[in-house]
Each structure stands twice: as structure tokens, then as C-alpha cells.
Amino acid sequence: MPHFTLSDLDAVTWLRSLPDASVDLVVTDPPYESLEKHRAVGTTTRLKHSKASSNDWFEIFGNERFEELFLEVHRVLKKDRHFYLFCDSETMFVAKPIAEAAGFRFWKPLVWDKVAIGMGYHYRARYEFILFFEKGKRKLNNLGVPDILTAKRVYRGYPTEKPVSVAETLVLQSTQPGELVIDPFMGSGSTGAAAIGAGRRFAGTDTCEEARNVTRARLVDAGGIEVEVNVAPDAAEAQAQLTLLK
């Protein structure tokens, strides 16, 4: 059975605890800054209000933090591996050049077609981008997969929850069984569920306790076995702890 580990650390702090070249794939969906603008004008879901942000589920990850995030993602990825970033059309123009400066090669934006339109005023959105980056050179497992991934949006689920089928396509395209998939903004664990279901190992983090609880239950239901890993004091210890996931 595939193993998984969950953390409660901030995304960048958690990535810094991982050793160099220890990860096979990163798939993630940061709570990007433009979400706040969309909520302010009522063009996306209004979630429960809190002082820290416009909701109680997650804190916004500011655009100014993308540089440190992408540098750490690039560091922890092994050579010849892929990195997928979910984002909207506004964030794409911010994130792409920063990721390229961190060392990634940008291939193209994939489109997640949500099938049904969302909220908005001018050409209501029914898609989201998934930026496809590469470190080194790695061939996709199936060259017949199109760049538009169609899956109905998740209704009445965890905020911004992604369908497992979308993450599953990315996992199957960019990894082999037994490899390690991570998500530093794991939310309700869609990426983890896809990874465990496909026979890959998974590690993720989220500062929200509810997210960790939801993810843990999903991954156990998918057949995963949780391994508790403490924050490593040094790279050697971090590498040793990652081997527990095998």
C-alpha cells in the first residue's frame, strides 16, 4: 500500500525542511492573491469571513512570495521532473516569469474545463489554467492526452476543491508507480487522493486543521497508510525520514 505524510507547516517552511532533489512531482493550487479581488466584486464564491482573510478556510498566498516558493520547489524536485501550478488568468502572468527565473522551463498552460460556468459579469468563467513547468527534460507517459482536461467542478465541497480526475491525469502523465508526489497547498487532498489511488507516495502540508482532517480521511479511504514525519533538523535527517514513505 502507498504511504503518505501530512504536515501543518506553511508551504515554504515545509519545502525548506525537505532535502534537495527528493521529490518526483509537484502539483499544487496556491490560494492566489487575485481571489481577494474577485471576492470583493462578487465574481467568485464568498466564503465565511475572518479577520485574516475573506474566509476561514485558508489565508491568501501573496504574489510577492512566489519567488521563494518556486526556488524551493525547483530545489526539492529531482532532475527531469515536472511541476504543475493551478491558477487563474491574472496570476498566470505573474507566476510564469518568476518560475522561469527560478530555473523552470515553461511548456504551456493546460486548461481545466469545468463544464459549467461560474460566477462573474463579463464572459463568465468556466475554465482554470494549469501551468506546466519542467526541470530538465522528462517525456510525458502518454503523448495522446490533449491540453484541455474536462471535469465538472466540485460543488458544495471544500473551498476551491479540484476534481481528483484532473490531478490523476497529471500524476499518471508525469510519474511512475512508487514515486513521490507532493502538494505544499494540499487543501482537501485531491492531489493526494490521485497519487495514492495511482500507487504513488504522497506528502503534503496545509496550515488549516480542517484541511488536514479531510485529507487524512480521504487518503485512508483511498488505501493509503499514514507515516508520521517530524520536521527534520538537517538535510540528512530529512532524507532519512522521506525514506519512511517507501
* pLDDT tens-digit series, residues 100-150: 999 999 999 999 999 988 766 678 889 999 999 999 999 999 999 999 999
Residue 115, domain CATH: 3.40.50.150
Question: What is this structure's pTM?
Answer: 0.87
pLDDT band at 54 (very low <50, low <70, confident <90, very high): very low
Measure the CA–CA gap between 36 and 8, rounded to whole angstroms. Answer: 23
Work out the end-to-end distance of the chain between its first and last CA atoms, rounded to an integer number of angstroms: 10
Query: Based on the structure, what is the number of domains in the chain?
Result: 1
Hey, CA dihedral for 198, 204, 210, 213, is it positive or negative? positive
pLDDT band at 32 (very low <50, low <70, confident <90, very high): confident
CA nearest to 125, candidates 193, 34, 26, 33: 34
Hey, CA dihedral for 125, 167, 96, 155, is it positive or negative? positive
pLDDT band at 228 (very low <50, low <70, confident <90, very high): confident
Q: Domain limits at 42? A: 3-245
**C-alpha dist (Å) from residue 232 to 7, 8, 212:** 12, 14, 20
Q: What percent of the chain has pLDDT over 90?
A: 67
Hey, CA dihedral for 97, 175, 164, 77, is it positive or negative? negative
Between strands 180-183 and 225-226, the pairing is unpaired
**Which has more pLDDT, 150 or 232?**
150
Neighbours of 80 (CB within 10 A): 12
Tell me the average pLDDT across 148-163: 77
